Amino acid sequence: MDTPDKTHIAATSSLSKFEDSPVFNYINSLSPIDPVKFVQTDHSFNSLSFTSPSSVFASPQIISHRESRLKSILSPDPLKPELPLYANGNKTSKTDSETIRVSDQCAEQLGVLTPRSSARGVTAELPNTIKCDFGSPASNWVSSDLIETSRVREGGGVPSSFAQSSKVNLRERQHFKNEVNLREICRIEQTEEAAGLDWVSLVSDVDVLDSFNIENNSEEEQDQETVDPGTITFVSTVLQLPQDNATDLENLVSISPSGSCKLSEIREPITQSGEIEDLQDKDQAHDILSSSLQKKLVVTESRAKVDEKGEKRGQSNSKHKIRRRCLVFETGSHKKCSSLIPSQTDCEVAHEENCLVPSKSSGHSLSMLPGVGLHLNAVAATSKNGRFVKCKTLASGRQIICMRSSMSSDSLASSQNTLIGSSALNSMEKVSDPCDNKIKVVENALQTSVSVGREEDDQNSPRKKRFKQELVGESQACKRCNCKRSKCLKLYCECFAAGLYCVEPCSCLDCFNKPKHEDTVLETRRLIESRNPLAFAPKVIRSADSATEFGDETNKTPASARHKRGCNCRRSSCLKKYCECFQGGVGCSASCRCEGCQNAFGRKDGFEETEYKVEESEAYENNDSSDTIKKDEDEHSDVLLIPPSIISRFSRGKRLGSSLLDVGPSPMLCTGLKPKTFDISDQPNFQIRLQVIPEDETPQNRKSNCSPTSPNSKRLSPPHHDIRSSSSTSSSSTSRKLILRSIRPLPSVTPLQEQQ
């Protein structure tokens, strides 16, 4: 029955008929996507969607079957002889209406896939393109659209080819509904998750990819080892899932079945075609798929691993080795954290030396560090770089380090779960307040890593490139201090003040703040602390603390924070980062001796900072043009206060510690300032807002808190504070954040389940 010619003709005719049919027109009218010629669709699909050579589902049999199926159905490809494989099984397996619907989808997928499988010339190109497609949100979106479009067309065509014209309309409608739902899901996920969100599609895609892989014998072996693109996508999806782990996991699990369904669906058409089926193959395919899904479900997998996988897809073994090396570094030094960053490849190379430095330090720390200042070093270093280090570092800071490591491995690496991350961060902060900013950075880093992870796969996308460049630039430009005369042994040096060793990115001269001079560093620290025990303490203190320490009633406002010693600004009006209060995102307090204070976060004289909340972020963003501060106030009234430290870092990209921030957040922050339009598509922004804005710091809450509750309270909530406050005062805020994020997955899941 299935001579290539026949199939081809049938497909072609059906396709043309379908296009002319009212249903098709209706679909087109509904669909935002413009109809694409079949050939074009294939092409675009190939280029955009399936680039990944490696796949979990590398089973040759499956692949061959898939290929054959596809070929038999749609493609005129001479290879068709392979077609018959699945035919019988389909008939046997499903007969009900659901089956029909499924078959439609399958047919659609097949149609989409077929071109690929048929086009062998493209196969060689796959490896290159593969990595790109999954990661880039944009690319994914496009590809998904294309896929959908093609599906719509193909779906109609395939059934007709099977002489099911009577059911075509019904099917198409169902199919269209499905497509719409899927599309919505895809959009939701893609917009938020950017990475291969349409995992369902991806699953099917994976199959296609596998089929390609089969052609490439050399890669077959690798396939087993190599990470499945779909898996990666899935993992990324999981990672990106909201904080509500349990819920998300459930959703994922529920979803995964659909993926299985997809596989069966694909076979459906074949069954109808009456071709011979290989039940064993089918079973195997299911097994493989299920196994792959299970693999995907293994959330515990470290993020680094994920990244590694992602890179694997697109890169050679050597690359892989490099990654592994980086992973090893992760274990030991903060630098490794870079491996967590998506664009690692570049970063890794760039940072290798850097990594070594930290490692070194860690080594010293283990044996040598007394723990006085060093623990700060370790902690700060870890967080500052925005990379999660499993610090072997300091004996003294062991617990802290452990927490971090756990966070990195579990929370971040595995799921990038913001909630978890925040929790970890919170806990971490409790331990190490000194590194407020850095912790924030870490948090941002989490987000960044998430976003990065999404884009990781799509290396070709402009976005990805940009991001990569940013990362690289950061890594290269992650200069911290620029000390010329202090030898980085005074508090002038930001690195030293933060308890960090200077690293390569620093532009300091005659730097002694390095592991090799650890003794000197420690001694200097000791001297400084002897003069001022709080010299290395966090400059910004949580409200509770500050209130306690300074007896400042105004600081009792929830989520409020104050600079430890207060500023002494005279000319900056506390509106620039010269002011440490402003820089720390906190209002001035009675401790400040500033003149003409206009601190947006809270004036010394008790001026309500509420007015500035929005402006501040803007001011920071714009490098403080006070003129512009109120400019968009109305527009951004919803905006939360973003700690200047964070913003400044990202905006300037100067400080390495903020590297993560710089990379990811910067855009996010910028966008984040456009709050009123809550753009789901821009997940980074979303996350940031959620994380940055403490529960009680929402505009309404702020106002309420400020005026009635604490008349004197000048400040709302500094970003710093958010984290801390959440950790100590309100865990609820964190939980809420999670809830918000959890919203995303729900929509996607629901439609699928309903349809299925």
CA-CA distance, 198 to 214, in Å (whole number)?
24
Q: Min. distance of Cβ 622 from DNA in angstroms?
A: 8
Q: How far is CA 546 from CA 538, 560, 717, 727, in A?
A: 11, 9, 14, 16
> Which is nearer to DNA, 480 or 736 (by Cβ)?
480
Q: DSSP assignment, residue 298?
A: -
CA-CA distance, 94 to 103, in Å (whole number)?
9
Q: DSSP assignment, residue 46?
A: I
CA-CA distance, 665 to 444, in Å (whole number)?
6
Joined together, the tokens standing for residue 511 give 């730097």
Q: Which stretch binds DNA (CB under 7 A): 274-282, 451-459, 651-659, 661-669?
A: 651-659
Regarding 491 and contact with DNA (CB under 7 A), the answer is yes
Under DSSP, is residue 86 helix (H, G, I), strand (E, B) or coil? strand
Under DSSP, is residue 485 helix (H, G, I), strand (E, B) or coil? coil
Backbone angles phi, psi at 562, to 5 degrees: -140, 155
> Which is nearer to DNA, 1 or 527 (by Cβ)?
527
Regarding 497 and contact with DNA (CB under 7 A), the answer is yes
Backbone angles phi, psi at 277, to 5 degrees: -115, 150
Regarding 466 and contact with DNA (CB under 7 A), the answer is no
Q: Which stretch binds DNA (CB under 7 A): 149-157, 452-460, 483-491, 554-562?
A: 483-491
Regarding 526 and contact with DNA (CB under 7 A), the answer is no
Q: Which of 73, 195, 481, 642 is close enough to bind DNA by CB under 7 A?
A: 481
Q: Min. distance of Cβ 389 from DNA in angstroms?
A: 22
- Count of residues binding DNA (CB under 7 A)? 43
Q: Which of 171, 303, 539, 604 is close enough to bind DNA by CB under 7 A?
A: 539
Crossing angle of helices 374-384 and 398-406, rounded to 10°: 20
Q: How far is CA 532 from CA 202, 528, 529, in A?
A: 58, 6, 5
Q: Min. distance of Cβ 592 from DNA in angstroms?
A: 8
Q: Which stretch binds DNA (CB under 7 A): 38-46, 305-313, 338-346, 528-536?
A: 528-536
> Which is nearer to DNA, 397 or 644 (by Cβ)?
644
Regarding 377 and contact with DNA (CB under 7 A), the answer is no
Locus of tokens 């390569």 = 504
Regarding 580 and contact with DNA (CB under 7 A), the answer is yes
Locus of tokens 């190379």 = 349
Q: Where are the alpha helices (DSSP H) in 194-244?
A: 199-215, 217-225, 229-240
Regarding 571 and contact with DNA (CB under 7 A), the answer is yes
Q: Min. distance of Cβ 570 from DNA in angstroms?
A: 4
Check if the beta carbon of residue 738 is closer than 8 Å to that of residue 242: yes
> Which is nearer to DNA, 313 or 655 (by Cβ)?
655
> What is the footprint of DNA within residues 584-603 (CB under 7 A)?
594
Taking Cα atoms as reference points, which of 475, 474, 493, 491 lies closest to residue 483? 493
Locus of tokens 């002694």 = 512
Q: How far is CA 121 from CA 68, 101, 116, 212, 459, in A?
A: 16, 32, 9, 11, 22
Regarding 578 and contact with DNA (CB under 7 A), the answer is yes
Q: Min. distance of Cβ 18 from DNA in angstroms?
A: 59
Locus of tokens 């995992």 = 199
> Which is nearer to DNA, 36 or 528 (by Cβ)?
528
Locus of tokens 């990209």 = 653
> Which is nearer to DNA, 60 or 596 (by Cβ)?
596
Taking Cα atoms as reference points, which of 25, 120, 32, 131 lies closest to residue 75? 120
Q: Min. distance of Cβ 561 from DNA in angstroms?
A: 16
Taking Cα atoms as reference points, which of 247, 236, 240 lies closest to residue 306? 236
> Which is nearer to DNA, 6 or 490 (by Cβ)?
490
Pairing type for strands 561-563 and 540-542 reads antiparallel
Under DSSP, is residue 529 helix (H, G, I), strand (E, B) or coil? helix
Regarding 648 and contact with DNA (CB under 7 A), the answer is yes
Q: Which stretch binds DNA (CB under 7 A): 7-15, 385-393, 577-585, 683-691?
A: 577-585
Q: Which stretch binds DNA (CB under 7 A): 404-412, 455-463, 648-656, 726-734?
A: 648-656
> Which is nearer to DNA, 630 or 652 (by Cβ)?
652
Regarding 482 and contact with DNA (CB under 7 A), the answer is yes
Binding mask 134-153 for DNA (x = CB under 7 A): --------------------
Q: Min. distance of Cβ 114 from DNA in angstroms?
A: 53
Q: Which of 68, 237, 406, 583 is close enough to bind DNA by CB under 7 A?
A: 583
Q: Which of 16, 570, 753, 756 is close enough to bind DNA by CB under 7 A?
A: 570
Q: Which of 404, 542, 603, 655 is close enough to bind DNA by CB under 7 A?
A: 655
Regarding 494 and contact with DNA (CB under 7 A), the answer is yes
CA-CA distance, 675 to 632, in Å (whole number)?
11
Check if the beta carbon of residue 567 is closer than 8 Å to that of residue 581: yes
Q: Which residues pair with 563 in a beta bridge?
A: 540
> Which is nearer to DNA, 636 or 655 (by Cβ)?
655
All residues at 6 or more sequence positions from 365 whose CB lies less than 8 Å from its CB, including other chains: 374, 377, 378, 392, 393, 394, 395, 397
Regarding 631 and contact with DNA (CB under 7 A), the answer is no
CA-CA distance, 726 to 693, in Å (whole number)?
10
Regarding 569 and contact with DNA (CB under 7 A), the answer is yes
Regarding 268 and contact with DNA (CB under 7 A), the answer is no
> Which is nearer to DNA, 49 or 591 (by Cβ)?
591
Q: Which of 33, 413, 579, 693 is close enough to bind DNA by CB under 7 A?
A: 579
Regarding 624 and contact with DNA (CB under 7 A), the answer is yes
Check if the beta carbon of residue 56 is closer than 8 Å to that of residue 227: yes
Q: Which of 463, 576, 604, 702 is close enough to bind DNA by CB under 7 A?
A: 576
> Which is nearer to DNA, 494 or 697 (by Cβ)?
494
Regarding 430 and contact with DNA (CB under 7 A), the answer is no
How many Cβ atoms are within 10 Å of 352's Cβ, its own excluded? Answer: 17
Binding site for DNA (CB under 7 A): 480-488, 490-494, 497, 508, 528, 531-532, 535, 539, 565, 567-573, 576-580, 583, 594, 623-625, 648, 652, 654-655
